[in-house]
């Protein structure tokens, strides 16, 4: 029987690559729901090709265009946030891919877990904001949280077969486009510079997060909750080639690594097919052509976002939620060229100081913290 998938965020970088995987393994997977925020034309094309039971366009203003285009098809068309949450729990689904961006992924993921759906987790912000609650919910409902993020998939693969005796996790980081830029030069970063990731082609938000190293900070938090390892046993090593996707060091000093050319289809299809491995027709890594691997320490002075993420994780409570919300607002403002690159960590740090600390937040508390932080971070932008 085919595995039935809900793809939340099917029009994005992860979503479209997930559909490549489905296309390549149509004997194994079928799509029962597709969702997008605004990308109407692509959503319609995807619906016509994959014939899901339901499509959801989150932006209700765009509903009619999708409805009109699919009127002759046996596809239900829905709109809005509630509809998006509803498809995350649909009885016809076995697994939900969370490929929406930012805080918007949190509530649908929680709904899906409560409905017993296995999760292919791309939306790392879910665990950044509420990792403790979400992983506990998954445990309680017997739901698998299968990592799609390349580093976490690498660690997951290193732990396939043995999970005991882990000394530490070693997350690799590309270092982003500004790895070798001097502090002074970072003052002159443009939007276009920051959107040029050296190794990965991804959505705009995560590409900026990679440039500030906030992405790596988020990944430390994500790893802490996914693998149940404290932050002092999660290291970050800059590896500019992005061939080693991450590593696990065991108590006898042995280090396991997962390697391969940068291609998100691998972690996506592993999450879909787990515990099986399926064929993937992309290029293979060539040891003789690669020109060598290098490693560096991350520079927390030039890239304070990584420090801020470690500090937020250490402080606990709603701190990582504040970190995420402030970052979302600051990154959006940077993309709109309203603030400078170096304003991103400044706004995040100011928000962490300003927003009230909540020691044991509920999901409702996280929603409040998210809204309060966004409002505060916006004032930091207008004052700029």
Binding site for ligand DXP (CB under 6 A): 149-151, 173-174, 176, 200, 206, 210, 215-216, 264
Question: Using the rule CB under 6 A, is 37 a contact of ligand NDP?
Answer: yes
Question: Using the rule CB under 6 A, is 58 a contact of ligand NDP?
Answer: yes
Residue in this structure with the two tokens 């490549």, named with its chain if needed: 20
Q: Which residues participate in the annotated binding site? A: 11-14, 123-125, 149-151, 174, 197, 203, 210, 215-216, 219
DSSP classification of residue 296: B
Interface segment toward ligand NDP; rule CB under 6 A; list 3-11, 135-143, 338-346, 370-378: 3-11
What are 69's two structure tokens?
């285009």
Residue 197 main-chain phi, psi, to 5 deg? -70, 140
CA atoms within 13 A on the CB side of 240: 12
Q: Which residue is nearest to ligand NDP (CB)?
A: 12
The answer for residues whose C-beta is within 8 angstroms of residue 368's C-beta and 6 or more apart is: none
Interface segment toward ligand NDP; rule CB under 6 A; list 30-38, 128-136, 244-252, 310-318: 30-38
Question: Using the rule CB under 6 A, is 236 a contact of ligand NDP?
Answer: no
Buried b (16+ CB within 10 A) or exposed e, 12-49: bbbbbbbbebbebbeebbbbbbbbbbebbebbbebbee
Name the minimum Å distance from CB 219 to Mn ion.
6
Q: Which residues participate in the annotated binding site for Mn(2+)? A: 149, 151, 219
- Residue 109 interacts with, from ligand DXP, ligand NDP, Mn ion, none (CB under 5-8 Å by kind): none
Question: Using the rule CB under 6 A, is 246 a contact of ligand NDP?
Answer: no
The answer for residues whose C-beta is within 8 angstroms of residue 214's C-beta and 6 or more apart is: 305, 306, 308, 309, 327, 344, 348
Question: Using the rule CB under 6 A, is 370 a contact of ligand NDP?
Answer: no
Closer CB to ligand NDP, 88 or 350, in the complex: 88
Site for Mn ion in 139-168 (CB under 5 A): 149-151
Closer CB to ligand NDP, 84 or 305, in the complex: 84
- Tell me how far CA of residue 137 lies from CA of 115, 125, 131, 143, in angstroms: 11, 16, 10, 8
Q: Binding marks (x or -) toward Mn ion, 93..132, rule CB under 5 A? A: ----------------------------------------
Question: Using the rule CB under 6 A, is 321 a contact of ligand NDP?
Answer: no
How many residues touch Mn ion under the rule CB under 5 A: the total is 3
DSSP classification of residue 198: S
What are 248's two structure tokens?
């696990």
Separation of alpha carbons 309 and 220, rounded Å: 8
Peptide bond into 275 cis (omega under 30): yes
Name the minimum Å distance from CB 361 to ligand NDP.
21
Closer CB to Mn ion, 2 or 265, in the complex: 265
- Tell me how far CA of residue 356 lies from CA of 28, 298, 316, in angstroms: 48, 30, 13
Residue in this structure with the two tokens 């950044």, named with its chain if needed: 128
- Residue 350 interacts with, from ligand DXP, Mn ion, ligand NDP, none (CB under 5-8 Å by kind): none
What are 226's two structure tokens?
């996914």
Site for Mn ion in 286-305 (CB under 5 A): none
Closer CB to ligand NDP, 9 or 240, in the complex: 9
User: Which residues are near Mn ion by CB under 5 A?
Assistant: 149-151
User: Which residues are near ligand NDP by CB under 6 A?
Assistant: 9-15, 36-39, 58, 84, 99-101, 104, 122-125, 149, 200, 202-203, 205-206, 264
């Amino acid at each position: 029987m085919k595995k039935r998938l809900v793809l939340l965020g099917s029009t994005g970088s992860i979503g479209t690559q997930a559909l490549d995987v489905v296309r390549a393994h149509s004997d194994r997977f079928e799509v029962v729901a597709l969702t997008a925020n605004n990308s109407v034309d692509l959503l319609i094309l995807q619906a016509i090709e994959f014939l899901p039971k339901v499509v959801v366009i989150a932006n209700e203003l765009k509903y009619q265009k999708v409805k009109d285009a699919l009127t002759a098809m046996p596809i239900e068309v829905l709109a809005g946030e509630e509809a998006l949450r509803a498809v995350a729990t649909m009885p016809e689904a076995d697994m939900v891919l969370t490929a929406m961006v930012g805080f918007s992924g949190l509530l649908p993921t929680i709904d899906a877990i409560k409905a017993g759906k296995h999760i292919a987790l791309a939306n790392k912000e879910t665990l950044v904001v509420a990792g403790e609650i979400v992983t506990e919910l998954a445990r309680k409902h017997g739901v698998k949280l299968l990592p799609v993020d390349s580093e976490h998939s690498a660690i997951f693969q290193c732990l396939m077969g043995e999970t005991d005796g882990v000394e530490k996790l070693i997350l690799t980081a590309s270092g982003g486009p500004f790895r070798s830029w001097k502090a002074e030069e970072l003052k002159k970063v443009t939007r276009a510079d920051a959107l040029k990731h050296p190794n990965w082609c991804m959505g705009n938000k995560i590409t900026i997060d990679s440039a500030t190293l906030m992405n790596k900070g988020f990944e430390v938090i994500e790893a802490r909750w996914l693998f149940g390892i404290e932050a002092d046993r999660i290291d970050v090593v800059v590896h500019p080639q992005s061939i080693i996707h991450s590593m696990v060091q065991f108590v006898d000093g042995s280090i396991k690594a997962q390697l391969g050319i940068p291609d998100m289809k691998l972690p996506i299809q592993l999450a879909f097919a787990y515990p099986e491995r399926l064929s993937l027709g992309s290029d293979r890594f060539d040891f003789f052509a690669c020109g060598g691997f290098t490693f560096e320490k991350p520079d927390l002075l030039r890239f304070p976002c990584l420090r801020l993420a470690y500090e937020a994780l250490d402080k606990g409570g709603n701190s990582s939620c504040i970190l995420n919300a402030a970052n979302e607002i600051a990154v959006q403002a940077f993309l709109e060229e309203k603030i400078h690159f170096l304003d991103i960590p400044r706004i995040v740090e100011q928000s962490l100081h300003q927003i009230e600390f909540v020691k044991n937040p509920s999901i409702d508390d996280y929603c409040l913290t998210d809204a309060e932080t966004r409002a505060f971070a916006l004032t930091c932008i207008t004052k700029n």
